A and B are shown apart, each in its own frame.
Chain A
């Protein structure tokens, strides 16, 4: 398996519910980033969390990082239909030069 694996592969929830997506990785990292992709085109950066950070917030988004378990989670609170998209985690290995992306979680928020 590859660096940066999201879980679940697909998630379907109702508007107003919270959505939690997880990411696991294998090697030590410098930072971990979460991106959103709509309709299979350009990705939009959501949050960057560095290896010495444990939690970050941005609006309705909360990201946690557990380096001992080599895992991260993205929580979207009070979801909206507009949050429907694919969500990817990406990791930068220590001494690495580029991000490694996972396969993504497809989130569907039903109105």
Chain B
């Protein structure tokens, strides 16, 4: 069975450009999470989806960040007008139902804003 996949694996963009990061969760997992990890640091929660709705988006750092999920499957995280401080690894995870269950992580997208 396929695990969580993310694309692209690496993205280099110029400051001010928009980027879209994609996550394909494990089939049948209703919960999906986005995290950000800066170099040498822990995971910073961004947003949580249950099905296609986002009951917790409290971790989005600014209105430049948005995310959506469709068909209770793929999710995209969009960062508009990227800044250098957005440089990080963006990790996606899915779990069967909710955070009472283990989370399965994708390999991440390394975003570098120049």
Q: Is B80 an interface residue (CB 8 A)?
A: no
How many cross-chain pairs have Cβ atoms below 8 Å apart between A and B? Answer: 61
Q: How many A residues face the partner with a CB closer than 8 A?
A: 24
Interface residue from B33, B37, B98, B105 paired with A40 (Cβ < 8 Å): B37
**B107 and A41 contact, CB distance less than 8 A:** yes
Instruction: Please give the distance in Å from B78's CB to the nearest CB on chain A.
Output: 20
Given A42-B108, A43-B105, A45-B104, CB of A92 within 8 Å of CB of B99: yes
Interface residues on B, range: 20 to 34
For B43, the chain A residues whose CB sits under 8 A away are: 43, 88, 90, 101
Nearest-CB residue, chain B, relative to A96 = B99
Residues of A that sit less than 8 Å from B by CB: 4, 30-31, 33, 35, 40-45, 48, 88, 90, 92, 96-104
